[in-house]
Amino acid sequence: MTKNYQTKTTQTSALAVPEQVSVAMEEIAEDMREGLLALAVGAGLQVMQQLMEADVTAACGAKGKHNPDRAASRHGTEAGSVTLGGRRVPVTRPRVRATDGTGEVAVPAYELFNSTELLGKMAMERMLGGLSTRRYPVGLEPVGGAVEEASRSTSKSAVSRKFVAMTEHALGDLLVADLSELDLVALMIDGVHFADHLCVVALGIDVDGTKHPLALVEGSTENTTLVRGLLVGLRERGLDVTQPILAVLDGAKALTAAVKEVFDHPVLARCQIHKLRNVRDHLPEKMRGPVTKRMRAAYHADSALEAQALLEELARELDKTHPGAAGSLREGLAETLTVLRLDLPPTLARTLRSTNAIESMIGICREHAKNVKRWRDGQMALRWCAAGMVQARTQFRRVNGHLHLPALRAALERHVAGQTVDADCNTQDVSAA
């Protein structure tokens, strides 16, 4: 019985790989003293040269042997460069020309190693990790003194250009991505400041519990026009705005107004953590702890009616001594109980009673941009914010309680249906009167 499956190969590209390659150890003996990685780099460069020669042989035939049917011929060599460990390294590349005079023929191995896409990705990853452009060479892998001395594209300006190009690409992809396939059940919107620039960002949660960075827009304040433009952009990119959706917001009136304008059936929920902070800011230090404790107990009540009764009682007690805190507590009180009113399982309710999910993404954006000392313009803020959002997406996990999200979809539909019935009854009462 023959094991044919062991001899089958998968062709992933036009790259011709020789069956055997040899390495001249005397040429890389010096690299041995600099460590295993430097040795591997020296050997790898020799292997790359043999791969390029194999491609030339495949196109032109064996060297020194006449072949009247060949489609290309050797045309000498010239200086080139390849990407290696976050830098550009000079190499000698072979040239091949078509025999029919149509011009030069590409050498697949050289085209593969010559790509600068990996170089840009590495620059972006290192800068988002906190490495400055001045210290970029310090963060590169040791590849041997000879290679490092001959390498280039590691200067401050070169790294900066690569980072700008990659972040512009990340921003463009984020702003044009097709959203027609997304089935969102929850939406969060918040703002993040970069010096004098404000970026308003949107995060969606689909019915599977996956978090999706949706879009961002730059402005000076979270005004209704700015947020409406962001949400209209989502609609134009295919996001379904006709289904009921839970919008978890921090209480800014501009956000609420814009969501109501763009979405057909939004169910608004106020972040309970923001409400706790707002009320605490109106209280003296000695009262903050007890009031916070009572508010938390109300938010964890068995029903929305019970929670509302407890919070209204607390507001009445604060009316005389701290009317500002009482007014802050009453403002948007019903929306802070939306998640409780939907009667969601505790694990999912804990996820949706605050804007922690989007604030976690914003925290990653801030962390990546902490070393930036000079913000030139709003476009720079957008690029850094978009890069942070893309990086945050790689760290996302499904939200806690994601198995109960179909129950949230059903609860939203019941809630919207109930609001529609109430609105029809009120209309009939007004007509009768």
* pLDDT tens figures, 163-201: 777 788 888 889 999 999 999 999 999 999 998 899 999
Q: From the centroid of its chain, how far is CA 88?
A: 28
Say what the pLDDT of residue 1 is. 41
**Residue from 88, 90, 97 nearest 162 by CA:** 88
CA-CA distance, 236 to 262, in Å (whole number)? 11
pLDDT of residue 351: 95
d(CA 230, CA 261): 12
pLDDT of residue 166: 76
Residue 129: what pLDDT? 67
* Single-letter code of the amino acid located at 402: H
Tens of pLDDT, residues 373-409: 888 889 999 998 998 998 899 899 999 999 999 999 9
If we measure between CA atoms, which residue out of 329, 238, 236 comes closest to residue 282? 329
CA atoms within 13 A on the CB side of 199: 30
CB-neighbour burial class of residue 15 (10 A; exposed 0-12, middle 13-18, buried 19+): middle
Sequence-distant (6+) residues with CB within 8 A of 234 are 179, 202, 214, 215, 241, 262
Q: What is the pLDDT of residue 5?
A: 38
pLDDT of residue 228: 94
Cα angle: 227, vertex 359, 346; to 5 degrees: 110
pLDDT at 60: 86
Which of the residues in the chain have pLDDT under 50? 1-13, 430
CA dihedral sign, ordered 63, 69, 72, 76: positive
Q: Taking the CB of residue 378, how many other CB atoms lie within 10 A of it?
A: 17
Q: Left if phi > 0, otherwise alpha if psi is -120 to 50, otherwise beta: which for 230?
A: alpha
- Give the pLDDT score at 12: 41
